[in-house]
Amino acid sequence: MNITWALLMMALGSVGVQPGHHDADVATVLQSAKNPPIVAQNNSNPAASASPNPAGVKPSATPATETDGPDSALHADPQPDAPKVKGIYVTAYSAGGARMEKLLALLDNTELNSMVIDIKDDAGYITYKTDNPELLAMGESQKFIGDINKLMERLKKHEVYPIARIVVFKDSVLAKKNPELSFVNKDGSVWANKGGDSFVNPYSEDVWKYNVDIAKEAAKLGFKEIQFDYVRFPEGFEKRADTLKYTKNAKPRVEIVSDFVKYAKSELGPLGVRVSVDIFGYAASVPAAEGIGQDFVKISKNVDVISPMVYPSHYSTGWFDVKDPDKDPYATIKGSMVDTHKKLNPLGSYKPIIRPWIQDFTASWLGSGHYIKYGKQQVEDQVRALKDQNIDEFLLWNANNRYTENVNYEK
């Protein structure tokens, strides 16, 4: 499919996103990929020359001066003995509640071996009780997971490979507690998107350090990998970049985002944990999304694992020559992986592990005739498409953590 035409279709067409996960307006994000690079001008807050530091913490984050050349020291796998990850998403509520018993049984009785658990959730809450004064000075913790150490012991007993999900720049808690670290409207209120969610400023090194400090604590707790999500600016940011008040410098947004990833990798790699990043599946098929600051290659070259979100329901009519992508999961996943390999193969030895998020939910919001009920066959079709494209790792998404039974994950 012609990329320009595909982008136009996405800008005009309807795109389904399961509520509660990566719930940006995907069409808006894809529209931004058509825009030329926008270099940030320091005109939204002339009085500010550096990020404020309300917590009194001296930031150690220093952006790299060049992100195009990967540092070989950053690319040695800190988890060389890790299994081929086949995992599921687990909310903090599930991890700390009764549903965990059923989820552990699922892993005990199938080829699945990993859980991606919310440690900093979509609202911005740290999901367990932390006594770290620096973290508490910046954000807030909630005991969604009542006893984090008991949870880690439980995961170890069941031989679960533990991955900590940390939502980075979508953070209403931090934004409201420290508006100077966020994006502020002309009337002084903190900006929020149409879903009521606020973001914090990726230009802020304090924000970088805060999230990486949470990751470091997760590593000490026993997580083997840190998965960063929402590593981007808000959807459609290019339309409001010059009207909101926030601290910034002259670097383009794609460089700022990739600088954060490189900083996180440099800080976490020596601790023996992998760094992974979630990214829109479309990113493999389109030019860089300058508006939100995501460049598939720039991000991928500085992580151990890249996890494109390739849910068939997220692709609109015509992608990969499929009329209704949600109804043909095999073809959709195959097409997305062909594009992913093409995009990342030039990285050579710096090509990260490709571990896509795939769909284990029914996208009924797409409307009659445009979706099918997802079950055993549809999940197996996606796994088979990945295997046919030499991808042997994957993560299953279901916002409610209700996964299909009796699936053969070795298809």
| Sheet strands (E) in 244-304 | 274-280
Please list, residue by residue across 305-344, b when 16 or more beta carbons sit within 10 angstroms of its beta carbon and e when fewer do: bbbbbbbbbbbbebbbebebbbbbbbbbbbbbbebbeebb
Phi, psi of 214 (to 5 degrees): -65, -40
Pairing relation of β-strands 86-90 and 114-120? parallel
Q: Is the pLDDT of residue 145 over 70?
A: yes
Q: Is the pLDDT of residue 69 over 80?
A: no
> What's the whole-model pTM score?
0.86
Q: Is the pLDDT of residue 14 over 80?
A: no
Structure tokens, 243:
């009207």
Residue 381 CA from chain centroid, whole number:
24
Q: Is the pLDDT of residue 60 over 80?
A: no
What class, spelled out in words, does domain 3-54+86-397 have in CATH?
alpha beta
pLDDT for position 286: 86
Residue 59 binned pLDDT confidence (cut-offs 50, 70, 90): very low
Residue 16 binned pLDDT confidence (cut-offs 50, 70, 90): very low
The domain ranges of the chain are: 3-54+86-397
Percent of the chain with pLDDT over 90: 79
Q: Is the pLDDT of residue 274 over 50?
A: yes
335 vs 75, higher pLDDT: 335
pLDDT for position 18: 44
